[in-house]
Structure 1
């Protein structure tokens, strides 16, 4: 069993409390999102990939977009079996992600293969470059008056 690494050193006392709390960690709801995302830009498309193993995408996944926000809603249904133990997560899961500027909400494609949902959105144009705003000095304005 591996132990998560810490990014910051908080001192000995808080670390001791973490060790004491460790046996009870399984009783808390998971802090991580049940749908894991990764995204990147490929050619002229924004690509979002989601891990969704063990679902039927036709029945159990809904993808919506509104006002620049892409939402993935999925449901993993519990299969009743005579099982001794299950660490699988069942139920409804929803995650939303803001689309990059310039995304075309009318050109979205989704595929599902081997437990991975892939959604791609065409980027309509390049992001506008920022405009530099000149700063006027108060002393210059007073001289003009």
Structure 2
């Protein structure tokens, strides 16, 4: 039996590799996540916070939304399936979403995003850090 035929024969049982890839998939409804998870990497580069996300096979102008609210960056994408002349596909389709907590000192009005070869790069400059510690007097 060929690999695609074996996969089709399993029917509704999940693929073992899918379970290892997303180990807490069954808990997602309880965590507030919707859709499939977007894989990301982040780093501080040249006084900027940079987030890169894997999003192959989408049209960034139609299928991608990036928003910031209350120090949380939200990435939401839709990947649509085309069934033209195809019997078997292992691609993932549907809704993808990721929420990323941002550092406090990000200049939200200067966030920029680019899409190249399936990777979304979001660059966020840091604002100057102001001294936020203040001594609180104690009354007796």
Equivalent position SS for 2:37: coil
After superposition, the CA RMSD in angstroms is 2.8
Q: What do residues 90-137 of structure 1 show as CA deviations (whole Å, max 9, x unaligned)?
A: 01111010111211111100000000000011110248587899xxxx
For 2:113, what is the secondary structure of its paired residue?
strand
SS at match of 2:85: coil
Give, in angstroms, the shift of residue 85 of structure 1: 1.6
Unaligned runs of 5+ residues in structure 1 are: 1-23, 134-145
What TM-score comes out, normalization by structure 1 length? Answer: 0.66
Cα deviation code 1:53-108 (max 9, x no counterpart): 01100000000000000000001010112223211000111101011121111110
Partners of 1:101 and 1:127 within 8 A in 2:
no
Runs of 4+ in 1 over 3 A off after TM superposition: 27-30, 126-133
Q: Name the structure 2 match of 1:69.
A: 72
Task: State the number of aligned residues.
Answer: 112
Structure 1 or 2, whichever has the larger Rg, is: 1
User: Partners in 1 of 2:88 and 2:130 — Cα distance?
Assistant: 50
Give a deviation string over 1:20-59, Cα, whole Å, max 9, x none: xxxx541877626531100001112100000000110000
